[in-house]
Amino acid sequence: MTIDQAERDALYKIIYSRRDVRSDFTDESISDAVLSRILSAGHHAPSVGFMQPWDFILVQDEQTKQAIKQGYEQASIESAQQFLGSKRTQYQQIKLEGILEAPLGICVTCDRGRNGPVVIGRTIKPEMDLYSTVCAIQNMWLAARAENIGMGWVSIIHDEVLREVLEIPKHIEIIAYLCLGHVSQFHQKPELEEIGWLPREELSQLIHHGKWQKSKS
Amino acid sequence: MTIDQAERDALYKIIYSRRDVRSDFTDESISDAVLSRILSAGHHAPSVGFMQPWDFILVQDEQTKQAIKQGYEQASIESAQQFLGSKRTQYQQIKLEGILEAPLGICVTCDRGRNGPVVIGRTIKPEMDLYSTVCAIQNMWLAARAENIGMGWVSIIHDEVLREVLEIPKHIEIIAYLCLGHVSQFHQKPELEEIGWLPREELSQLIHHGKWQKSKS
C-alpha cells in the first residue's frame, strides 16, 4: 500500500502541530466514535513480540479526577523544591496539567506478564515492553491531534497515587496519565519554548555520522 | 490549525499500515531529503520539560554493520535458550532483523543530562526522558512509513555492543537501533500475527471504565 504525497504531508502537519495541552481545554465531551478511533490508534502501535501489553483506564468521574489532582498538587510542591532561584518562581507560574478541565483522563498501563514470561525481543532489553506502551501513547497523541482533540501527559504525580485511586494491581506498571479534550486553540509552538524556558535544539547538532562524534557530546 | 477529514484519514492509513520491517529491504539508498524529513519528525516529538534528549547516529558503513550483526547473533543465541520446546524451534526460524540488508541504521540515544539536572516533569518520574525518546522513535516510524520506507527496531542486542562499536559515551543511554530502507512490500499484518505466534488482542478487553476492572486482569 503506497502512501501518496498528500497523505505524507498530512502526517507532517499533524506531527508539527501536535502539542502537550495543559490549558485551553473546553468542556465539550469527546464522542464515542472519536475516542474509539484514538484508542484503536494506540492499540495498533508496534509492540515487542506482538505482546500488546497496554491497558487503558478511562476517567470521567469528578471525584476520581479530584483525587488525582490532589496527587498532582502534592507532587508539584515537592518538585518546586528542586528548582533554584528564579527558575523556581517561573516553575510555579507554569500551568502543567489540565486534570479537572479535560473531560477525559486516560491512564495507560503496561502488563509485563501479558502473553507469557518470555517475549520475543524482550530477552535482552527488558524495558522494551514499557517502550512499546510509549509508542501506543504517541500514536494516541497524533490521533488526538488529527481529531482536533488536545492531549497532555501529566508526569508530576506519584504512580502510587494513581495505583490507589484507580485500583491498579501491583503487577501492572503505570506509564502515563493523559488528559484529553476539545480545545479553544493549539499553540503555535510548545509552551515551554514560547515562554523561553528552553530553545529548540538545532537538529544538525544531534546527528552523528558513522560513530558518536565527540564534539557533539 | 484545523486538521480535516482527509488528513485525519491519512494518519490512520499510515498508523494501520506501519510495520516492523525485518525482511523485504531493497538496496536502494534513502535520499538526503527523505532522511532529513524522518529525523525532523523525530525531533518534533514531545519531550519532557522540552529537554529534547535525543541524538541520532547514522550507520552506513559495512564494517560497522557487520560488528552490530555479530552482536545480534550472539544475543539471539542467548535468547533462544529462553524459549522452550516448539517455541524455540519456531523462534529460531523467524527473521528478526535486517541489519546488513537495510541501507541505513540509526542508533537513537537519550542524554539524561541535557539542559541541566532538574527537568520539568521529570522530578517525580525519572524515566520520562527515556519515554520522550521513544516518542521520537514512534514519530520516525510513522514518518518512514509515510515516505514508503520500512523501519525495524532491533532489540536483540546488548547495549554494550552498540556502545563499543559506535563509541557512545557512558553517560548516554541507548534506546534503540533502527534499520531503515526502501522495501519490496509492507506486510498486511504484523509478521508475528501472520505466522500465528500471537493473535491481536480484542481492544474492548483492554479498556477499563472508571477504575481497573478486576475481570480484565
Residue-wise pLDDT for B127-169, tens only, equals 999 999 999 999 999 999 999 999 999 999 999 999 999 999 9
Which chain A residues are within 8 Å of B165, Cβ to Cβ? Answer: 211
Residue A173, pLDDT > 70, answer: yes
Residue A215, pLDDT > 90, answer: no
CA distances from B113 to A96, B53, B58, B117 (A): 22, 8, 22, 6
Cβ–Cβ below 8 Å for A216 and B190: no
Side-chain half-sphere exposure of A142, counting CA atoms within 13 A: 38
Point out the residue among A3, A6, A134 whose CB comes nearest to the CB of B134. A134
Residues whose CB falls within 8 Å of the CB of residue B44, separated by 6 or more in sequence, listed in order: A15, A16, A18, B139
Residue A116: its pLDDT value, please? 85
Please give the single-letter amino acid code of residue B88: R
CA distance B78 to chain A (A): 8
Residue showing cell 465531551: A29
Residue B44: its pLDDT value, please? 98
Select from B36, B130, B46 the least CA-distant residue to A141. B46
Residue % of chain A over a pLDDT of 90: 96
Integer Cα distance of A31 and A33 in angstroms = 5
Three-state SS for A24-66 is: CECCCCCCHHHHHHHHHHHHCCCCHHHCCCEEEEEECCHHHHH
CA distances from B195 to A108, B40, B200 (A): 28, 34, 12
pLDDT band at A217, cuts 50/70/90?
A: low
CA distance A160 to chain B (A): 11
Please give the single-letter amino acid code of residue B157: I
Select from B178, B34, B40 the least CA-distant residue to B97. B178
- Quickly list H helices, chain A: 5-17, 32-43, 62-80, 85-93, 128-146, 159-165, 191-194
Which chain A residues are within 8 Å of B37, Cβ to Cβ? Answer: 12
Nearest C-alpha in A relative to B209: A58
Residue A156, pLDDT > 80, answer: yes
What average pLDDT does chain B have? Answer: 97
The per-residue b/e assignment along A75-87, b for 16 or more CB within 10 angstroms, e otherwise, is bbeebeebbeeee
Residue A17, pLDDT > 90, answer: yes
Residue B217: its pLDDT value, please? 61
Q: Decide: helix, strand or coil at residue A18.
A: coil
pLDDT band at A162, cuts 50/70/90?
A: very high
Side-chain half-sphere exposure of A176, counting CA atoms within 13 A: 33
Cβ–Cβ below 8 Å for A197 and B146: no
Nearest C-alpha in A relative to B56: A207
Residue-wise pLDDT for A72-114, tens only, equals 999 999 999 999 999 999 999 999 999 999 999 999 999 999 9
Residue B177: its pLDDT value, please? 98
CA distance A77 to chain B (A): 11
Please give the single-letter amino acid code of residue B168: I
Cβ–Cβ below 8 Å for A172 and B11: no
Select from B144, B114, B154, B112 the least CA-distant residue to B41. B144
Point out the residue among A52, A79, A87 whose CB comes nearest to the CB of B123. A79
Integer Cα distance of A181 and B33 in angstroms = 35
Residues whose CB falls within 8 Å of the CB of residue A161, separated by 6 or more in sequence, listed in order: A67, A68, A70, A71, A74, A75
What average pLDDT does chain A have? Answer: 97
Which chain B residues are within 8 Å of A44, Cβ to Cβ? Answer: 15-16, 18
Point out the residue among A127, A192, A206 whose CB comes nearest to the CB of B50. A192
Residue B215: its pLDDT value, please? 79
> Quick one: cell of A150?
488536545
Integer Cα distance of B147 and A9 in angstroms = 10
Cβ–Cβ below 8 Å for B138 and A143: no
CB atoms within 10 A of CB B118: 16
Select from B60, B47, B59, B35 the least CA-distant residue to B143. B35
pTM over 0.90: yes
Which chain A residues are within 8 Å of B10, Cβ to Cβ? Answer: 3, 6-8, 10-11
- DSSP tag of B89: H
Residue B92: its pLDDT value, please? 93
Integer Cα distance of A151 and A155 in angstroms = 13
Query: In the predicted model, what is the mean pLDDT of residues A134-154?
Result: 98
Tell me which of A4, A114, A135 to substitute to probe the interface with B (most B C-beta atoms closer than 10 Å): A135
Residue B216: its pLDDT value, please? 73
CA distance A172 to chain B (A): 9
Handedness of CA A163, A167, A172, A177 (dihedral sign): negative
| Structural domains in chain A, sorted by start | 20-184 (3.40.109.10)
Which chain B residues are within 8 Å of A203, Cβ to Cβ? Answer: 39-40, 43
Point out the residue among A56, A146, A203 whose CB comes nearest to the CB of B207. A56
Residuewise pLDDT in 10s, chain B (217 residues): 999 999 999 999 999 999 999 999 999 999 999 999 999 999 999 999 999 999 999 999 999 999 999 999 999 999 999 999 999 999 999 999 999 999 999 999 999 999 988 999 999 999 999 999 999 999 999 999 999 999 999 999 999 999 999 999 999 999 999 999 999 999 999 999 999 999 999 999 999 999 999 877 6
